[in-house]
Structure 1
């Protein structure tokens, strides 16, 4: 039996180096290449590991050093500064109470202290004096008529007992006596009226106090329509009328302490708010706080002054001005978080004093707040915080 054999050329001829080519040989080449590549990567990593560490240390070294502070909380007096004028606490205008006339004498001047009822000026009363004298004579005439009427009645009563005068005559004499007595009372009342009118020609102080202004001079003709001749401060009490905005006025209460300094004076007077304006001016949107002041000759009504009022206290973190930044979005600070990164924190500021600025909203006082150089930071910047002691 004959067999025919077919031989594949790829298996029949050997490779040039004496080794046959096949699937097993190709797989072996791939494995050898992978091992060589892994070895090269390992060698590169070992060679550059020091450079990577140095780069990390360099980046840390480039982090900005910032000074931070943990402010805590402080009890701060809330102060309000206002301006206004000095005035009499109770100003009393004094004018002509009577019919007026010509002033013949002025007895006081501005700056004098007077008592209640003290005469300030005297108006000519020559005509009134003559009227009083005439009426006094009328009183005497009426009194004489009354005495005569009484005597006639007494005689008539004696004659009635004897039957010489009728009862009707007695009644007529009694009426005459009563009419005469009434005329006496009328005359005396008229005399009293003239005396009261003459007394009103004296311009007197309505209460004890300090004379502030004088607008009366001897020879001047005055009448009830003349206006104010003297102005007085009752008991010499003064006040400052401080003008405040609606918001500031709402923070004050009656009894608040104020330090008042007149313009041009280095001296400060301590006063107390005794009245807050119940209304707000619709134009200026301001109200008035009236601050009571004790009398002092350096406090001149009409003068300008400034007042520093204490409107209670507030407990809040206190920061220096350098720590608080602002832009179109409002005031803010930079707070350093646990990863030493800068975080922008919006805040609301309150009282400003020589010790710093109170932060009434946005901080609890336990944060690390950037004290300076906040303007060079951006949110998320890595920093090296140094706590100020």
Structure 2
């Protein structure tokens, strides 16, 4: 029995050993499967190599990599030149032509007897605008008549003195005295007559006419029938000839250096357009506005333009041929302005330039560029930090 039990134990031991190996192997396989599953579920890391830089430096030259992020973002165009004048917009207004706006003053003290015009009325040169009763005018007529009478008497006395001298009945000094009296009488008669002419009378003693000195429009009336005129320096009315008017454009003091010898002005109004060479300009700057006034003569035969009317005038200043660049090509660095110039395909070099006037969305170049050179006109800012 002991032998039989030993045999059974000997048979069972190998079986148990095989079973243990199977379990260990299975467990190892399960662990490997679980590890593989966990690894497959983890995000995979892709190791990438760094791309070449978009911009490389070759001294002061910037080279753009073909196919890079900047390729196709830069617009390159040739520099062009322009002969067009420089244009400056200026505030402007219509004014009366010099010498064509006349204030009407009374040459004598008196009272307004009749008034024949009103504001806005058209008159012709020589038309009577008003009549004044005037004691001063009556005095002038009296002085003229007395001067003429004295002249007649002095002339007779001189003839008589000459006749008496010729027959030997008078001294030479008497003839000379008569001649002196005649010359003084002639001078007084001339003065009195010129006084009447200056007053512009029509032959009616005591009635002083106010006459239109130019053809035009009565722009103001500051008197009325029955008013006593005691101040001969006060304007009673104004007459302005508006067949030709001037456009006055005000140029700021800061723009004086750009003035040239050849300039034109354009002024647009709802009813017409005025343009032509600058007619005149002030010799001094106005102290209150710090501006210099430029003038353009403009025909106004239809009477559509009125003094005081405002507009914007364009001053055209003739310029020499200059390169013209769009503002988008400029890079600002403090007080310096630069652009990128193409030296070869995808190769650019920064160049500093000097600019002058702005022309809308473009600027004129004084130095640093010439016509035909190719520059980056759009997208240059992308290279500014390289």
User: Structure 1 length as normaliser, TM-score?
Assistant: 0.62
Matching residue of 1:67: 75
**1:244 CA drift (Å):** 0.9
Matching residue of 2:222: 215
Specify whether residues 336 and 144 from structure 1 end up closer, same or farther in structure 2 by C-alpha distance, changes over 3 A only: closer
Aligned match of 1:287 in 292, 306, 310? 292
Map residues 1-389 of structure 1 onto 2, 5 A cutoff.
Answer: 60-65=66-71, 66-91=74-99, 92-125=101-134, 128=137, 132=141, 167=169, 192=193, 195-196=196-197, 199=200, 201-233=208-240, 236-246=243-253, 248-253=255-260, 256-262=263-269, 265=270, 267-282=272-287, 284-295=289-300, 297-338=303-344, 340-353=346-359, 356-378=362-384, 380=386
In 1, Cα distance between the equivalents of 2:155 and 2:210? 38
Matching residue of 1:12: none
Structure 1 unaligned spans of 5+: 1-50, 161-165, 381-389
The CA deviation string for residues 59-89 of structure 1, in whole angstroms up to 9 with x for no partner, is 6432512121112323222112211322112
The CA deviation string for residues 309-360 of structure 1, in whole angstroms up to 9 with x for no partner, is 2110332233333223434334332223337344333333344445743333
In 1, Cα distance between the equivalents of 2:150 and 2:322? 89
The alignment partner of 1:280 has SS state of coil
* Stretch deviating more after TM superposition (231-240 or 292-301): 231-240
In 1, Cα distance between the equivalents of 2:363 and 2:245? 34
In 2, Cα distance between the equivalents of 1:74 and 1:133? 75
Aligned partners of 1:80 and 1:248 also within 8 Å: no
In 2, Cα distance between the equivalents of 1:101 and 1:292? 39
Aligned partners of 1:277 and 1:288 also within 8 Å: yes
The alignment partner of 2:223 has SS state of coil
Specify whether residues 64 and 204 from structure 1 end up closer, same or farther in structure 2 by C-alpha distance, changes over 3 A only: same
In 2, Cα distance between the equivalents of 1:133 and 1:233? 35
Aligned-residue CA RMSD (Å): 4.6
In 1, Cα distance between the equivalents of 2:271 and 2:150? 72
**1:90 CA drift (Å):** 0.9
In 2, Cα distance between the equivalents of 1:104 and 1:125? 10
**1:300 CA drift (Å):** 1.5
Aligned partners of 1:243 and 1:287 also within 8 Å: yes
In 1, Cα distance between the equivalents of 2:374 and 2:150? 104
* Stretch deviating more after TM superposition (224-233 or 298-307): 224-233
The alignment partner of 1:333 has SS state of strand
* Stretch deviating more after TM superposition (327-336 or 133-142): 133-142
Aligned partners of 2:151 and 2:189 also within 8 Å: no
* Stretch deviating more after TM superposition (68-77 or 249-258): 249-258
The alignment partner of 1:370 has SS state of strand
The alignment partner of 1:376 has SS state of helix
Specify whether residues 194 and 251 from structure 1 end up closer, same or farther in structure 2 by C-alpha distance, changes over 3 A only: closer
In 2, Cα distance between the equivalents of 1:127 and 1:145? 27
Specify whether residues 376 and 360 from structure 1 end up closer, same or farther in structure 2 by C-alpha distance, changes over 3 A only: same
Aligned partners of 1:84 and 1:304 also within 8 Å: yes
Specify whether residues 57 and 115 from structure 1 end up closer, same or farther in structure 2 by C-alpha distance, changes over 3 A only: closer
**1:364 CA drift (Å):** 1.0
